[in-house]
Each structure stands twice: as C-alpha cells, then as structure tokens.
Amino acid sequence: MSVASWFATRWIILDAGVFGPMRKTPGRTLLAVLAIALGVALGFAIYVINRLAADEVSLAARSTFGLADLAVETSGTGFDETLYPVIARVPGVAAASPVVEVEAKLVGRRGALTVIGMDGFRSRLLQPSFASLATTMPDDATGLPGSDVAYLSASAARSLGLAQGDRLQLQNGLQSLQFTVAGVLPPAALRDQAAVIDIATAQWKFDRLGKISRINLRLQSGSDLHRVRTDLMALLPPGVRVVAPGEATDDALRLSRAYRSNLTALALVALFTGGFFVYSTQSLAVLRRRREFALLHALGVSRGQQLTLVLMNGVMLGLAGAVLGILLGAGIAKAGLGLLGADLGAGFFRGIEPQLRLQWPEVLGFIALGTLVAIVGTVRPALEAARIPTAAALKAGDVLSGKVRRHGALIVVLFAVAGTVLLLPPVAGLPLPGYAAIALLLVGAIVAMPSLLNALLAKAPFVRAVPYEMAIAHLRGTARYATLSVSAIVVSFSLMVAMAIMVTSFRNSLDAWTQRILPADIYMRVGYTGQSSHLDEQSVAALRAVDGVERLEVSRFAEASLASGGDVTIVARDLDQAHVERTLWVEASSDVELPPGTTPVWISEAAADLFGLRSGATVELNIGGHLLKAFVRGVWRDYEHQRGAVVMERSAYLQLTGDLFVNSVWMWLKPGATEESVLQSIRQRLPAGSEYDLRTPRELRRLSLQAFDRTFAMTYVLELIAIFIGLFGISAGTSAQVLARRSEFGVLRHVGLTRVQIAAMLAIEGAGLGSVGVFAGLLTGSVVSLILIYVVNRQSFHWSMDLSVPLGLVAGLSAALVAAAALIAVFSGRQAMRRDVVGAVKEDW
C-alpha cells in the first residue's frame, strides 16, 4: 500500500468518524467549542492577571530594595537610629542606607502616598537609579537635603497628575506640609506610588526624629550572607528583623493570595462546567450515532480505532476551544487590567499598572488544560462507542437503552471522601481541601443524577393530560439520556446557589457587624496604622468641647509584632471592660482570672487563626519597642484588619508607649443636638485645609456595602458565565434529542396529537428536566455554600459569618432556569417540526 493511499484510507475513516459528524451538527460542535473556550478564557485571563500582578509586586518590592542584599526593618514608626552605625559596621556590610518611611496622607485627595526619606549619599550606593537626586555638593537648590523637595515615582506622578515644579501637599497630624516636585524618577527606579525626600526632612516633618524604618544593606562581594545575617540578628532589639528582598515579595503577595486563589477556583469551575458540557454532548452523540459506529465496525474499523475516533473528536473540540479561549482570555485580561486593575477591583495592589505580556509556557499550558478537559469529558462516551454491539445496533429501530445504572457504591464513596477531605487543614494557607471536597461533591451529584431522576419521576404526581403523561413516560424511559443534558446545569447552578448564599451571608454579616461596631452618632477617622495623619490631644479636646457632643471615645492604631513572629494591628481604644460586647462583636471569651502581670486584650478572629491563639492564652507583644505581656480575654469578629488585630484598653497603651495621638473618635450626641449642626461645628474647630474623615454611621454602612459589592462584582460575572455554559448544555442536549425524535413526532402527529400538544409535551419534558437539575443544584449548592462559608472562607480570610439564604433570589433563579429549559425544549421542537414531520415517519423504517 502506498503512503498516499495509506493516508487516504486514514482520512476516510477520520472524516467518517470525526470531521463528518462535526460538520453535520455545526451548531452543537460550535457550542462545545465555545463551552471549552469560555472556561479556558476565564481561567487564562485570571491566571495571567494574577501572574502579572505578582510579577509587578515582586518588581516593586525589588525596586525599593535596590541592589540591597538584606534589609533591617521593623513595623510601626521604626527603630532607634543609633542602631544605624552599629549595623553599618557589621563585618561583611559594604553599604548601609537608612530609610525613613511614612504613609503620608494626601491633602485634597483620597488615600496616602508612601514617603521615602533617604540619605542620598548612602542610597545611591544601593539605588544607582536615584543618583540623580543631587547628592553632589548642593549649591543649587535642587538638591534634596534641607529643602522641601520631593522626587515622585513615575506611577505616583501619573496617578497624582503632578510634574516637575508642581506642589505636593501631604498631611502630618492635621497639619499640611508642602513639597515641590523636583523631578520624576524613571519608572524602573521605584515602582510603588511614592515620593522620595531627604531623610532628615522626613524625620523632622513627620515626627520621626530619632527613628528609622529600615536600613538597606549591600554586602561585600564574597561575604557569607548567612553569617552576616546571623551577626545582624544578634545585634537587633526585639521587633526588629532582617529580611531578604524575596521575603518581602512573598509577604506582599501572601495577603492577596486567598482572594486570587478563590477567583482562580471560580474560573476553573467554568472550565469544569465546560468539561461536563463536552461529556454530555459527546455521550448524546454516541447514543445518536450507534448505528454509524456499528456500521463502521462492520466495515472493519476496530474497537480501538473507534475509541480513538471519538477521542479524536474530543481533542479537536478541546484544541479548537482552547485556542479560541486563549484569544478570548487575552482580550478579557487586557480589558480587565484596564477596567479593574491588577487585583480585579479588590483594592489589594496600589500603583501597579502592569502591561499585558503573555508567556509561551502559560499559553501552551492552558491550551493543554482545555484539551485535557475535553478529552476527559470524552473518555466515557468513547468507551461506550467502542462497546456498541454491532449486530443489535445495526438493526432498524434499535431503541436507546434508558436503563439506569445506580452507581450506589460510587456515590457513597464520593460523598464520604468529600466529607473526610473537609477535615483536613488548609494547604500552604489555601483552602485546597475545601475546594477538593466541593469538586467531589459535584461529581457525586452528577453520578447520582439518573437515580435521582428516576426517584423523582416515580413520585411524579399523576395528572390526566396526554402531553403530561407522555412527557413523564418519555423522561422515565430515557433517564440516562436525559440526565446527561442536565449535568452541566447541575454543576453551574449548584455553584451559583452556593455563591449566592455565601455572598448574602457575608453581606448580611458585614452589615450587622457594621451596625454593631458603630454604636455612636458620629464617627471620625484620621489616618490609619503607620499613616502620618492623626489627631493630637488638642484636637480631641476641641472635639470634646463641641456643642452637642455628649461624650466621646477614641482609639489609636499602632503596629505590633508578636514575640513568636508575625505582625498585628493594635487598636488601643476606650473600652468598658465589663461590657466589651457593647463595642466589639465578641465570639468567644475567657472568664479566667487575669494572670498577674498581664494586660487583657481581645484579638480578632484573623489573629486567632493566623497565630493559633484562643481566649485564655497569653501572648507577648512588641509595640514600637515596648514589650507587653498580654492575656487574651476574648476573640472578636473583625472584617476590617485582614492580618489580625488586637484590641487593648487605651489607658494601658498610653502607660506603655506614651503615644497620645488618636486615629478614630466615636461621638455620642446630646439629646436634641442635630447631626448637621454638630458636624458643622466640628469642621469649624479643626484646622482649615486638614483632611479627616467625618461620617455618620449611616454613610459608613452605605460605603462599606458599596466596597463589598465592588469586590464581589467579579465573582458575579464569573457565576453568570458558568450558568451560561450550563444553559448551553440544556439547549444542546434538548435540540439533539428533539432532532433524533422527528420520526417519533411524526408518529404522534399520525395518531392525532396536535402541534400544540407536542409542544406542550416538550415543554413539560424540558421543565421536568430543568426542575430536576434545579432541585439537584439546590441540594448540592446548599451543601457547597456551607463548605464555602465554614471552611473555604474561614481558611482564606479568617472571618466567620452567619448563614443567611437569599430565598427570593434562589427561588427566582430556579424558576428562571426551569422556564429557560422549557423554552429551549419548545424552541428546539418547533425547529424540528418545521420540516415535514409526518413524512419523517418513513425515515427509520
């Protein structure tokens, strides 16, 4: 046999087994391709955006480090500057560049700007790109030292819209500071949104005299990094640590990882649903093409070749879908970066503006993933195709087997494994066991679908109407066939239900929490942990004296580190110790007598989870160099400080640190005083031009819910897409069936059924299938939502929430889906009957 003819034979077989059928049903092929494409597109887009964000964060962290090999740093306002010469003289240290870092509130703008105070003479050894900062003999006024000039990073200049010569206004306390923009740094020099000023100016103007935040270190070439590190650590007081550039990057990314991994999981769900869609369409195709396969076998195509043929089909679908998905995904990623930013609207990364750059491994990886999903979806149908009994299937009228295999044991095992996996701890801080359990649960639900359908049909109410009876009978007879088309919708709907319940629970919990922690009438906030703006004593006294203010409570944010490692936010506030629950949402507390020498604190759930603490524990805290032995009196619910917060009494904090500054003020009004007038007089009493946040709890509640909705906007979109793919499944399944049943419709017409009756029958079938899908979806979804709320969320974000079910929304969605299923069935039926149905009777006989 010549090579050409060898190829010709293969081609004929391929054409008959793969391309022919695909050509014959272009709509279904396209839908299958689209289903895979959508899944791949979403997964790819989210992956790429995450990767770009991660790259950018690393670069940013790297750029602040410059050429440094190590850095000595601490949290909060910094460490004593006398440590600088000690560190600089450690053997092996070639250059030491001290840095004062301040989160400076921007005046007249939202948010803060990182102000980096540097000694240009020292930093240029580590940051050659900063060499432009006039470190030569400063004869001209452009030099940094001693003048109120600032260099802006390229991203800060862009986002603030400032150029050389413009004024930059920053706030310290309630006081406004003026800087002149002396220049804009090249983009690679500093990636963060930051302003660089002279270190002495930073210390003086931002109340940091005697303190530095960090010392960047360059080691002598050939020196032993590990040894220098050990030497350094021996010199450092508690709370000051040595970090290498890579560690800072990891840290920056860790916080957003939970959010990013959850998004990725959602995107993969879309691909998962796509896989189910391929599975259902391929299974249907195999059922439909029984005679073709039998014929091919009779013509000499081996079972193995048949298996390959169907698998080839899956590969083709998968490849086409994946390639399309990559294109689509790149587009989505580009649009997403432009519209929502690198964190997709969640506000994790500031000043990061990555450009879309794709890498070959990730492109190929996602093409492979899409193809693999399609192949996996095709494996079972392919096996089935290979098993078709030739003789029986070749006979005219070979009725599709509707027999249902129960798979009872498999289902039990799947659910049992899911339950067991749930007990496992998170992997590397990610709730992977939770996701695995969800996946197992979904697969279990799909496997159980035929049995469920049978069980439900057995219980179907008896209604004396021909179309209804026929529809029920048909569903009963083709349970296996029918459930295939709903598997995709079960997956997507259950996830939608789960997400809806989770998001509603979260939103309601947040709302309840907001109201609980904001019992006052007016609420004021100046600055946050480590930020340069704050209220001093005089300002607080001025507030106290405002007419109409009955009483007020204040709090201060500070940074602290645990002796055992890790950082927390300290919230030092006026607290009624006997009734802490009035201001905090206490989840657990300990009644044990206070151990001598300890101070009672209340830790947030995140702190409890992250540091393995519970009420009744004692913990050593380092608050700005002051050591505190704390006793965990209770654990409170906190949606605000993701890295963990510790509430302590302000008086104890004052005693420890002497820090009189204040960040928040709660004000209760006298009876009869109006909010408006009090707000007015507060504004009059505080220095003009200063920036502070003055709000009523009402406003705060609205704003926090807005922020919430913005964060979850992306998840809604992903869910809708999953549902969309699910609907593809129903429509493809139904239309395939309906086309195959043309001759059946013909017979029905012959025996006297009207078109309307057939349409009604189809509608009932569709609605019935839809209902079963919805029912299964509701059941699975509810369980998945519990996993999301109590396992996934708790493990990724460390906050608990109370279950609340959006009954209306779920009911509405269910109804809409059932209606959509019915409509699709009727629509397909009408298309099928448009041609000569009566004549079609002859086709198969």
Q: Which of residues 110-129 bind another protein (CB under 8 A)?
A: 110-111, 114, 116, 119, 121-122
Binding another protein (rule: CB under 8 A), the pick from 38, 56, 79, 101 is 101
> Which span sits near another protein by CB under 8 A: 82-90, 419-427, 431-439, 820-828?
82-90
Candidates 30-38, 130-138, 283-291, 757-765; binding stretch for another protein (CB under 8 A): 130-138
Q: Pick from 288, 334, 626, 695: which binds another protein (CB under 8 A)?
A: 695
Q: Which of 16, 20, 30, 103 binds another protein (CB under 8 A)?
A: 103
Of 492 and 664, which CB lies nearer to another protein in the complex structure? Answer: 664
What is the DSSP secondary structure assignment for residue 771, as one 8-state letter? H
Query: Judged by CB under 8 A, which of 692, 728, 745, 827 binds another protein?
Result: 692
Looking only at the bridges linking them, the beta strands covering 626-636 and 599-604 are: parallel
Q: Is 222 in the site for another protein (CB under 8 A)?
A: no
Residue 297 touching another protein (CB under 8 A): no
Q: Is residue 622 within the footprint of another protein (CB under 8 A)?
A: no
Q: Which of residues 50-69 bind another protein (CB under 8 A)?
A: 60-61, 64
344: amino acid identity, one letter: L
Residue 3 vs 339, nearer CB to another protein: 339
The reply on whether position 771 binds another protein by CB under 8 A is: no
Q: Does 539 bind another protein (CB under 8 A)?
A: no
Q: Restricting to residues 652-681, which ones interact with another protein according to CB under 8 A?
A: 664
Stretch that binds another protein, among 84-92, 316-324, 609-617, 717-725 (CB under 8 A): 84-92
Q: Tell me which stretch binds another protein (CB under 8 A): 245-253, 430-438, 482-490, 743-751.
A: 245-253
Q: How far is the CB of 250 from another protein (least distance, A)?
A: 9
Name which position in 207, 251, 353, 536 contacts another protein (CB under 8 A): 251
**Phi and psi of 525, rounded to 5°?**
-135, 125
Q: Which of 44, 259, 585, 611 binds another protein (CB under 8 A)?
A: 259
Type of residue at 241: R
Tell me how far, at minimum, the Cβ of 315 lies from another protein, in Å: 42
Q: Which is nearer to another protein, 297 or 643 (by Cβ)?
A: 643
Burial (0-12, 13-18, 19+ Cβ within 10 Å), 264: middle
Give Cα separations from 498 to 417, 418, 795 (angstroms): 20, 16, 17
Mind spelling out the 3-state secondary structure of 330-356? HHHHHHHHHHCCCCCCCCCCCCCCCCC
| Residue 144 CB, nearest approach to another protein (Å) | 9
Strands 214-219 and 194-198: unpaired
Angle (deg, nearest 10), helices 479-517 and 245-288: 150
Give the C-alpha separation, 571 to 561, whole Å. Answer: 13
User: Looking at 8-16, 208-216, 316-324, 416-424, which segment touches another protein (CB under 8 A)?
Assistant: 208-216
Answer whether 342's CB lies under 8 Å from 263's CB.
no
| Residues from 709 through 738 that contact another protein (CB under 8 A) | 711
- If the CB atoms of residues 537 and 699 are measured against another protein, the closer one turns out to be 699
| Helix 742-750 and helix 697-740, axial crossing angle in degrees, nearest 10 | 70
Q: Which listed residue (130, 435, 493, 523) binds another protein by CB under 8 A?
A: 523
Give the N- to C-terminal CA distance of the chain in Å, as an integer: 39
**Helix, strand or coil for residue 603?**
strand
Does position 179 bind another protein by CB under 8 A?
Answer: no
Alpha helix (H) residue ranges in 388-431:
390-394, 408-422
Site for another protein contains 530 (CB under 8 A): yes
Distance CA 485, CA 733 (A): 5
Contact flag: residue 209 with another protein (CB under 8 A): yes
Beta strands in 671-796 (DSSP E): 693-695
Residue 6 binds another protein, judged by CB under 8 A: no
Q: Is 1 in the site for another protein (CB under 8 A)?
A: no
Shortest distance, position 34 Cβ to another protein, whole Å: 35
String of DSSP letters for 138-201: --STTSSTTS-EEEEPHHHHHHHT--TT-EEEEEETTEEEEEEEEEE--TTT--SSEEEEEHHH
Which residue in the set 59, 67, 200, 805 belongs to the binding site for another protein (CB under 8 A)?
Answer: 200
Spatial separation of the C-alpha atoms in residues 162 and 266, rounded to whole Å: 39
For residue 704, state whether it binds another protein (rule: CB under 8 A). yes
Closest C-alpha to 571, from 474, 499, 666, 481: 666
Please, what is the minimum distance in Å from the beta carbon of residue 180 to another protein?
13
Of residues 415 through 454, those in contact with another protein by CB under 8 A are none
Asked whether the beta carbons of 611 and 644 are under 8 A apart, the reply is: yes
Kindly state the DSSP code that residue 459 receives in the 8-state scheme.
T
- The verdict on 643 binding another protein (CB under 8 A) reads yes
Task: Pick the stretch among 70-78, 378-386, 720-728, 807-815 that binds another protein (CB under 8 A).
Answer: 70-78
Near another protein in 546-605, by CB under 8 A: 559, 567, 569
Contact in structure between 70 and 228 (CB atoms under 8 Å): yes
For position 204 contacting another protein by CB under 8 A, the verdict is yes
Out of 66, 76, 275, 770, the only residue in the binding site for another protein (CB under 8 A) is: 76
Among 693, 779, 803, 819, binds another protein (CB under 8 A): 693
| Cβ nearer to another protein, comparing 139 with 843 | 139
- Residues in the interface with another protein (CB under 8 A) total 93
Which pair of tokens denotes residue 181? 């923009």
Tokens of 184: 């804009």
Scanning residues 502 to 521, which ones bind another protein (CB under 8 A)?
510, 514, 517-518
Residue selected from 394, 586, 694, 786 as contacting another protein according to rule CB under 8 A: 694
Residue 50 beta carbon to another protein: minimum distance, rounded to whole angstroms: 15
Q: Return the closest-CA partner of residue 170 out of 114, 212, 120.
A: 114
What are the helix and strand counts (H, E) for the chain? 27, 21
Task: Considering only residues 330 through 389, tell me which ones interact with another protein, judged by CB under 8 A.
Answer: 346-348, 350
Closest CA to 174 of 517, 521, 541: 541
Q: Does 192 bind another protein (CB under 8 A)?
A: yes
CB of 579 to another protein, least distance (A): 21
Chosen residue from 519, 689, 812, 839 binding another protein by CB under 8 A:
689
Instruction: CB nearer to another protein: give 504 or 642.
Output: 642
Q: Which of residues 140-159 bind another protein (CB under 8 A)?
A: 143, 145-147
| Number of CB atoms found within 10 A of residue 49's CB | 26
Least distance in Å: CB of 271 to another protein?
Answer: 27
**Closest separation in Å from C-beta 345 to another protein:** 11
Give how far Cα 500 sits from Cα of 190, 709, 716, 782, Å. Answer: 41, 13, 9, 10
CB closer to another protein out of 501 and 813: 501
139 binds another protein (CB under 8 A): yes
Q: Is 613 helix (H, G, I), strand (E, B) or coil?
A: coil
Give one word for 116, left, alpha or beta, with left for phi > 0 and alpha for psi -120 to 50.
beta
491 contacts: CB under 8 Å, gap ≥ 6: 269, 272, 273, 276, 442, 445, 446, 722, 726, 777
> Quick one: residue 709, left, alpha or beta (phi over 0 = left, psi -120 to 50 = alpha)?
alpha
757 backbone φψ class: left, alpha, beta (φ>0; ψ -120 to 50): alpha
Tell me how far, at minimum, the Cβ of 240 lies from another protein, in Å. 11
CB-CB contact of 492 with 726 (8 Å): yes
Q: Three-state SS for 769? A: helix
CA-CA distance, 812 to 185, in Å (whole number)?
Answer: 55
**Binding residue for another protein, selected from 12, 163, 703, 713, defined by CB under 8 A:** 703
| C-beta closer to another protein: residue 145 or 426 | 145
